[in-house]
């Protein structure tokens, strides 16, 4: 199952969950005591926060995909097909580190180029550092705008 399909499926499940929470919030409001009203407000806020998280995550994915297509059209995506892989499919750690160093140097040489930040994000991801990959991709998105 692709990441996109998984994201959409999770968003649909969350939507159902939010509807159920909304029903619970209405029941709490109907009880009309200060405590149940306060709990009802909390139950209403949880889906709003959840919806914001889902929206921002999907938006990040859509923007990243758009930027990836743009870089692919320029023939600028890094080629990872020749990197040695473990039986699990992950890139061999020394090869991933070497790949990363190449794009880290490129980004240091051109810190205002979104393309170098995008490629660095790919390198971080291959090296298994997802938080830095996301940060680098955010930087690429900011520079591309």
Residue 8 has a CB neighbour count (10 Å cut-off) of 12
- Long-range contacts, stretch 32-40, CB < 8 angstroms, 24+ apart: none
Taking the domain 93-144, which CATH number applies? 1.25.40.10
With 0.85 as the threshold, say if the pTM is over it.
no
- What are the backbone angles phi and psi of residue 91, rounded to the nearest 5°? -70, 140
Residue 38: burial class (beta carbons within 10 Å; 0-12, 13-18, 19+): exposed
Residue 107: both structure tokens together: 């980004």
**For 50-98, what is each residue's pLDDT tens digit?**
888 888 988 999 999 999 999 999 999 988 888 888 888 888 888 888 8
Distance CA 15, CA 97 (A): 40
pLDDT score of 137: 96
Alpha helices in 32-76 (DSSP H): 34-73
For the chain, domain boundaries: 3-73, 93-144
**For 102-133, what is each residue's pLDDT tens digit?**
999 999 999 999 999 999 999 999 888 899 99
Whether the Cβ atoms of residue 103 and residue 120 lie closer than 8 Å to each other:
yes
């Amino acid at each position: 199952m692709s990441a996109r399909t998984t994201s959409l499926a999770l968003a649909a499940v969350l939507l159902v969950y939010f509807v159920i929470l909304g029903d619970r919030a209405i029941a709490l409001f109907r009880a009309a005591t200060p405590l149940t009203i306060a709990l009802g407000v909390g139950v209403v806020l949880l889906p709003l926060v959840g919806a914001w998280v889902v929206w921002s995550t999907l938006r990040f994915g859509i923007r990243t995909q758009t930027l990836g297509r743009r870089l692919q059209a320029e023939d600028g995506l890094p080629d990872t097909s020749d990197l040695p892989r473990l039986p699990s499919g992950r890139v061999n750690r020394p090869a991933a580190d070497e790949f990363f160093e190449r794009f880290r140097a490129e980004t240091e040489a051109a810190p205002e180029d979104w393309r170098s930040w995008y490629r660095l994000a790919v390198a971080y991801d291959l090296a298994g550092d997802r938080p830095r990959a996301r940060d680098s991709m955010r930087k690429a998105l900011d520079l591309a705008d």
